[in-house]
Amino acid sequence: MPRLPFPHTWRGRWLTLALVVVILAAAGVVWTRSGDKGPPVATKDAVLDVPAGPGAAGVVHLDTTLYFPQTSPAPAILLPHGFGGDKNSVATEAGELARRGFVVLAWSARGFGRSTGQIGLNDPGLEVADASHLIDYLATLPQVRRDGPNDPRVGVAGASYGGALALLLAGQDKRVDAISPEITYNDLAQGLIPNAASPAAPQPATPAVGAFAADGVFKRSWAGILFSAGAGAGARVNTEAPEPGQQTQDSGGTGQTGSGGGAAAASPVPQQLPATGSVCGRFTAEICQAYTELATTGRATQQTLDLLHRVSPASVTSKITVPTLLVQGENDTLFGLDQSDATARQITATGGKVQQLWYAGGHDGGMPGPQLRAKIGDWLWFQLTGEGADPVNGFSYDVQGSLRASGAPSVRTVTAPDYPGLARDATRRDAVALSGGQQTIVNPPGGVPAAVSGIPGLNGLAGSSRLSGLFGVDPPGQSARFTSAAVNAQLLVAGSSTVRLRVTGSTPDAVLFVKLYDVNPDGTKTLPANAVAPIRVSLPADVTVTLPGVVRPVESGHSLQLVVTTTDQSFATPVAPATYQVSLASDLSVPVIPGAATGPGWPLGNLLAIIGILVAALAVAIIAAVRRRRAHRVDPELAGVPLVIEGLTKSYPGGLTAVNELSFRVEPGQVLGLLGPNGAGKTTTLRMLMGLITPTKGEIRVSGHRVYAGAPVLSRIGSFVEGSGFLPHLSGEANLSLYWDATGRPRDKAHFTEALEIAGLGDAVRRKVRTYSQGMRQRLAIAQAMLGLPELLVLDEPTNGLDPPQIHQMREVLQRYAATGRTVVVSSHLLAEVEQTCSHVVVMHRGRLVASGEVADIAAAGGEATFRVDRPDTAADALRAIGGVSDVDTEGNLVHANLDGLPRGDAVAALVRAGVAVEQAGPRRRLEDAFLRLVGDGGGE
């Protein structure tokens, strides 16, 4: 019989479901923020009445929630949601801001959630006017600090649709004191119809010269997804509309009742449905008409362009004078870096103060994470109170690396004194010569097959080994290619590159798609951020094309390739056949923004400083733990942290101490490797985490709840620690069912399908377990741990007995699970596997913590480099002949060396002179070396 585990073991299945949900949500592009909730805050729900609109009778009911800080009066934050969401979409951010000290007002915009009215796409007379009425409401609250009568101290933050509202409101209502828009647009016409003639078209870094046609190129796929999100909003029946003044409280509630202000509605939100047969849901008639025109013709009339401009921030940027922090994503095919660039230019031109951050996310790459959200909150606090120092110094952007052993990109931040885009001559540009001559390309009849540069909502998965083949498909005959020589040193592209094209053809105008690839020495290529510049030009033309802004480190030995295609599946393209001749009229101009880099790969001094800070923080945490060790209630400060271990010790009679004062914490979304030699105390730690043995002293908290034998929080952990114990005569599916039934929890909470989908067992789950290979048994055990999709998944040596392909599959399972925002803890003695699977690592030796942090930080070996070559022995001799180079050794076709400050480019040049072909060069990161430095050559006890 299998050992019947505690119910908490099965929460590992929740992780599986969460991954599936995240992928589907990305495909549906309904932008909500993810993250674990922190300590509860006092809230109050209310339904507020606002005017229906200019010239319209009646009112619109807005469903709102107020979040209160611990002390008041305090400055307020209006927090609008993204398109397709509602007030619940920003609950995590609202709670964080309230804990920071703000009064926060979140609401469902008209046409979304349980609010009534129609969607006007941030129409100044509708959604923007609604937000002004909400400021009126804030002015009536005693908890809100005021600057004067009917003038609360208020900032506005929001992402995408909500970010645009922040800008529009600041330009229309002078009571707004600071704004922080994220991943939003400047001109909706430019966002959805790039290069359309618009009064507020974003100005490229180099002015466009040439015959651009007036109506641009319609971004069909993104627009269709967004329209579907809005059209679907009207199909819901509001069966549980909140009552006016309805209040939601938790243990931190204020005990208030009633509406809290004179703007509260006097009746419940009525149920609304669109007219029978309506295809526009809750969109206003003019928005519906504009979309119908674009979707059916692929072109925009001037009336549509004027409408989109009127509901865009570009219409009011000349009136924005309050401090503005623009946060834009580097992976965003919907609203690219050009949109925030245009906003920054326009506000600055009229005397406004703008600060700007680029981060490694966006509509394709994810919302700002906890650290960036905390910085935004600190910035708003500084602007609205004047307390402390401005946390945003200069301009910063994230750089994703490409040489991590795990296959996941490392991210470092580069900080420059100022955003250079505000002055045209401030951005450094490097000229890159391209070759290719004049090339002929064709637009096929019907415009198919079309090139595939990206898939909206799935672009963030472009790095997946299973999905990478879907991207970067340029059909032959439809694509002109112009390629540079290999670069001899890393080229960090940061911003919008430009190039001048000469185009002739058989039609009066042409729709073309221009993109810039990073090509590896082996010929494989990557399209940074899936970014494409669509242009519609009148022929013949010499036209300067501004490519979408990206941040991409092009490594030494790589080359750049400019591709011009006639089709792209994400855009509306002509269906009539045509032929074009394309050639270059200039070199490629690449923007470079120098700055100081921080992040992974920091020198040892910085790492020691961080460890020192962590030790100090842990000392404070241990003192606090002593005071609450007998308390079984949740610690609100740790409610959002999946796992915290503080001062954990386990001693046995006879003087053996298996675990000694162990302290570390694990954050959401991490895959943490618990690493150490045999006897280091890894399994003992996991057994204490699962409540199987009792610590001698110290404590473990999961989501703020203390772990002890039989603790309810154990049901929130999924584990695979001491073998699965499957019954061989039953199928995998039956084993899982039996296991779940033994927990006593409802079957509808098991999420069998989702767990099995992530584990990737397919139809094999219906076979008897005795027919399984060892790898399949291990994956079934992981699926068993994922049942119920727990927030924390704990695995002890999950790759034992697996062959390399099975280990690779297991690695993908764990990384996909952590990608949902949940957390995985893996104990292992396989150094290479930890290095490739885990994002973070805790190293134990003789029961003690000897190191913790990101794998790349711990594994990085300063001054060492690795070269992949065709003649390793010759390469080793050539490197040894260079003065100062030491510790040269070979490993297959890899040559490792300590360059002692010599630039890798110089070393590559020396190898080439020696007749060696260099396929790859990069820093040497070996977890094995770091491990041996930390614990020595000896094994366990």
Residue type, 694: T
pLDDT value for 404: 45
Q: Residue 579: which of 434, 480, 435 has the closest Cα? A: 480
Residue located via tokens 């297991």: 810
**d(Cα 294, Cα 683) in Å, to the nearest integer?**
61
The pair of structure tokens assigned to 341 is 């660039």
Categorize the per-residue pLDDT at 214 as very low, low, confident or very high, splitting at 50, 70 and 90: low
Max mean pLDDT among 191-205, 498-512, 833-847 falls in 498-512
Query: What single-letter DSSP state applies at residue 768?
Result: B
pLDDT value for 29: 36
pLDDT cut 70: percent of the chain above it: 78
Would you tell me which CATH number, out of the four given (3.40.50.10860, 1.10.443.10, 3.30.70.100, 3.40.50.2300), belongs to the domain 859-935? 3.30.70.100
The answer on pLDDT for 572 being more than 70 is yes
**d(Cα 456, Cα 29) in Å, to the nearest integer?**
8
What topology is assigned to 43-191+199-205+235-274+317-385 in CATH? Rossmann fold (3.40.50)
Residue located via tokens 């795990």: 406
**d(Cα 845, Cα 15) in Å, to the nearest integer?**
30
Residue type, 373: R
First-to-last C-alpha distance (Å) of the chain: 34
Q: Provide the residue ranges of all domains of the chain, joining segments of one domain with +.
A: 43-191+199-205+235-274+317-385, 428-597, 605-846, 859-935
Categorize the per-residue pLDDT at 620 as very low, low, confident or very high, splitting at 50, 70 and 90: low
Query: What single-letter DSSP state applies at residue 190?
Result: H
Contact 532, 512 (CB under 8 A): no
**Going by C-beta distance under 8 Å and a sequence separation of 6 or more, which residues neighbour residue 432?**
484, 487, 491, 560, 587, 588, 589, 590
The answer on pLDDT for 117 being more than 80 is yes
**Helix, coil or strand: residue 673:** strand
The answer on pLDDT for 256 being more than 70 is no
Query: What single-letter DSSP state applies at residue 450?
Result: P
**d(Cα 816, Cα 669) in Å, to the nearest integer?**
10
The pair of structure tokens assigned to 722 is 């001491």
pLDDT value for 582: 96
Cis peptide before 600 (omega within 30 of 0): no
**Going by C-beta distance under 8 Å and a sequence separation of 6 or more, which residues neighbour residue 901?**
863, 884
Contact 101, 74 (CB under 8 A): yes
Q: How many CA atoms lie within 13 Å of 906's alpha carbon, on the beta-carbon side?
A: 10
pLDDT value for 21: 39
Task: Please give the torsion angle defined by the CA atoms of residues 386, 387, 388 and 391, in that order, rounded to the nearest 10 degrees.
Answer: -50
Give the pLDDT confidence of 312-354 residue by residue, as tens digits: 999 999 999 999 999 999 999 999 999 999 999 999 998 999 9
pLDDT value for 711: 83
Contact 372, 35 (CB under 8 A): no
Q: What is the CA radius of gyration of the chain?
A: 29
Q: Residue 69: which of 100, 44, 47, 45 has the closest Cα? A: 100
**d(Cα 147, Cα 132) in Å, to the nearest integer?**
16
Max mean pLDDT among 179-183, 257-261, 857-861 falls in 179-183
The answer on pLDDT for 109 being more than 80 is yes
The answer on pLDDT for 211 being more than 50 is yes
Q: How many CA atoms lie within 13 Å of 35's alpha carbon, on the beta-carbon side?
A: 24
**d(Cα 521, Cα 527) in Å, to the nearest integer?**
15
pLDDT value for 19: 39
**d(Cα 740, Cα 783) in Å, to the nearest integer?**
11
Q: How many CB atoms lie within 10 A of CB 295?
A: 14
Contact 641, 370 (CB under 8 A): no
pLDDT value for 449: 85
Average pLDDT for residues 434-460, to the nearest whole number?
A: 86
pLDDT value for 593: 87
The answer on pLDDT for 3 being more than 70 is no
How big is the CA angle at 272 (ends 268 and 275), to the nearest 5 degrees? 160
| Strand stretches in 506-612, DSSP E | 509-519, 525-526, 533-538, 541-546, 550-554, 559-565, 578-584, 588-592, 596-598
- One DSSP character per residue, 231-247 reads HHHTT---TTPPPTT--
The answer on pLDDT for 440 being more than 60 is yes
Q: How far is CA 918 from the centre of its chain?
A: 34
Give the pLDDT confidence of 147-160 residue by residue, as tens digits: 999 999 999 999 99
Q: Which residue has the higher pLDDT, 156 or 805?
A: 156
Average pLDDT for residues 849-874, to the nearest whole number?
A: 77
**d(Cα 904, Cα 299) in Å, to the nearest integer?**
50
**d(Cα 843, Cα 553) in Å, to the nearest integer?**
31
* β-bridge partners, 500: 544
Give the pLDDT confidence of 467-481 residue by residue, as tens digits: 444 566 788 889 999
- One DSSP character per residue, 347-371 reads HHHTT--EEEEEES-BTTTB---HH
Q: Exposure pattern of 915-926 as b/e (b: 16+ CB <10 Å)?
A: ebebebbbbbbb
Give the pLDDT confidence of 38-89 residue by residue, as tens digits: 578 999 999 999 999 898 899 999 999 999 999 989 999 999 999 989 999 9
The pair of structure tokens assigned to 112 is 């979304």
User: For 428-597, which CATH superfamily applies?
Assistant: Galactose-binding domain-like (2.60.120.260)
The answer on pLDDT for 600 being more than 80 is no
Query: What single-letter DSSP state applies at residue 473?
Result: B
Strands 550-554 and 491-495: antiparallel
The pair of structure tokens assigned to 507 is 């039609």
- 3-class DSSP string for 132-169: HHHHHHHHCCCCECEEECCEECEEEEEECHHHHHHHHH
pLDDT value for 271: 37
Average pLDDT for residues 240-244, to the nearest whole number?
A: 37
Distances (CA, A) of 622 to 468, 619, 633, 700: 46, 5, 17, 11
Decide whether 43-191+199-205+235-274+317-385 matches 859-935 in CATH topology. Answer: no
**d(Cα 575, Cα 572) in Å, to the nearest integer?**
9
- DSSP alpha helix (H) spans, 710-822: 732-743, 752-759, 774-786, 804-818
Q: How far is CA 608 from the centre of its chain?
A: 28
The answer on pLDDT for 606 being more than 70 is no
Residue type, 102: F
pLDDT value for 319: 96
What topology is assigned to 605-846 in CATH? Rossmann fold (3.40.50)
| Helix or strand run (H / E) with residue 129 | helix 127-139
User: Taken in order 683, 684, 686, 687, is the CA torsion positive or negative?
Assistant: positive
Strands 656-666 and 643-652: antiparallel
Categorize the per-residue pLDDT at 250 as very low, low, confident or very high, splitting at 50, 70 and 90: very low
Q: How far is CA 617 from the centre of its chain?
A: 27
Give the pLDDT confidence of 823-848 residue by residue, as tens digits: 999 887 777 777 788 888 888 888 88
Contact 433, 499 (CB under 8 A): no
pLDDT value for 374: 93
pTM over 0.85: no
**d(Cα 412, Cα 600) in Å, to the nearest integer?**
6
The answer on pLDDT for 809 being more than 60 is yes
Contact 786, 13 (CB under 8 A): yes
Categorize the per-residue pLDDT at 589 as very low, low, confident or very high, splitting at 50, 70 and 90: very high
Q: How many CB atoms lie within 10 A of CB 818?
A: 23
Q: Residue 218: which of 164, 282, 293 has the closest Cα? A: 293
pLDDT value for 677: 80
Q: Residue 199: which of 315, 334, 33, 371 has the closest Cα? A: 315
pLDDT value for 232: 66
Give the pLDDT confidence of 725-763 residue by residue, as tens digits: 788 888 888 888 888 877 777 778 888 887 777 677 778
pLDDT value for 547: 93
Greatest C-alpha distance within the chain: 91
Give the pLDDT confidence of 628-687 residue by residue, as tens digits: 444 456 778 888 888 999 999 999 887 788 999 999 999 998 998 888 887 788 888 988
